[in-house]
Amino acid sequence: MIVRMRFGKLGKVRWTSHRDVARMWERALRRAKLPVAYTGGFSPRARLSFGLALPTGCESVAEYLDVALEAELEPALVAERVCPLLPRGIGVLGAGEPEPGSGSLQEEVTSCTWEISVVRSTRSELDEVLSRLMGAASLPVLRERKGHVVSDDLRPSLLALFAQHTHDELGTTLVAELGTRPRGVRPAELAELLDIELGLARRTCQWIERGGSKFEPLDVLPAVPAVAVERAS
């Protein structure tokens, strides 16, 4: 069976990479003695599949992974057993089973919502630059790929941008919904387009849009009320 878990990455641990997080999960699942399925061959690996990579340095409350198990287990029980064994700052927020027949997280997710702190700009400066961006017909950026300089248009991936005042440590935040096709846009690239200084970025949702409806990869939330993400610092 496949168990899908939603987890968060907050605090200092955000400086670890996507690969580092994958290794943390492998070790935690082994420590939890869960019946994780392994690949065969000379180099057996746990059958885990992660969704879109989170850029190093970004926080998230909407990361997902699928774990293949060799036995049938209640997803909530899996989450309960593994969560305390994860490093500080990584915590399970929900667990369930993906719909039968659904594809991999990487294929299915069509957009992500981000909350990004705005370091110096005022609310009105921010509103102005946001409307300029959303009004543009195209937003080309130059990127080097395989030794060639290519121009990517980021405009199609900017699905929504608005400013929001919050009372938590983020202060004024920019809320962005960024599409994954034709290519994903990272918060750092958004800052480059906006030409303003952005601070801490946190992914708050991943979305799957299919047949006119939009939903999250896991609809049973929260399945594990007892565990929450603890801030590392």
Partner 1 sequence: MAQVTKPARYIGGELGACEPLHEPGRVAWLLIYPDTYEIGLPNQGLQILYEILNEREDALAERAYAPWTDMERAMRSAGIPLFSLETTRPAAEFDVLAFNLSAELTYTNVLNLIDLAGLAVRSKERTGDAPLVVAGGHCAFNPEPLADFIDAFVLGDGEEVVGEISEVLLDRVADHPRGRHELLRALARLDGVYVPALYEARYDGTSLVGVVPRSRDVPERVEKRAIGDLGEWPFPKQQLVPLVEVVHDRLNVEVFRGCTRGCRFCQAGMITRPVRERPASQVDEMVRAGLARTGYDEVALTSLSSADFSGIEHAVSSVINDPQCSGQVSVSLPSLRVDAFTVGIAAEIQKVRRTGLTFAPEGGTWRMRQVMNKLIREEDLYSAVDSAFAQGWRRVKLYFLIGLPTETDEDVLGIAELARRCADIGHRYHHNVTLTTSVGGFVPKPHTPFQWFGQDTIEELRRKVGMLRDALRGARGVSLRWHGAEATAAEGIVSRGDRRVGAVVEHVWRAGGTFQEWSEHFDLGLWTAGLEAAGLSLEDSVYRHREQHEVLPWDHLSAGLHRDFLWQDFSEALHEHVLEDCRWTPCYDCGVCTGLPVEHVVASSVPPAGGSQGTGQDVSVGGLMPVHFVHKEHRDMAVSAAGGAEDPVARRSLGSGPRARTTSGARSMGIVDTCASGGGA
Task: Tell which one of 29, 78, 95, 163 touches partner 1 (CB under 8 A).
Answer: 29
Q: Write out the binding residues for partner 1, residues 159-198 only, by CB under 8 A.
A: none
Burial of residue 89 (CB within 10 Å: 0-12, 13-18, 19+) is: buried
Q: Answer yes or no whether residue 17 interacts with partner 1 by CB under 8 A.
A: yes
| Residue 158 engages partner 1 in binding (rule: CB under 8 A) | no
Q: Which of 8, 51, 89, 96 is the binder for partner 1 (CB under 8 A)?
A: 89
Q: Is 54 in the site for partner 1 (CB under 8 A)?
A: no
Contact stretch for partner 1 (CB under 8 A) within 82-90, 137-145, 156-164, 209-217? 82-90
* Binding segment (CB under 8 A) for partner 1, from list 10-18, 109-117, 127-135, 177-185: 10-18
* 26 near partner 1, rule: CB under 8 A: yes
CA-derived radius of gyration, the chain: 19
- The nearest distance, CB 31 to partner 1, in angstroms, is 4
CB nearer partner 1, residue 116 or residue 208? 116
Nearer to partner 1, 1 or 32 (CB): 32
Site for partner 1, rule CB under 8 A: 12-13, 15-17, 19-20, 23-24, 26-31, 33, 38, 42-44, 56-57, 85, 87-89, 232
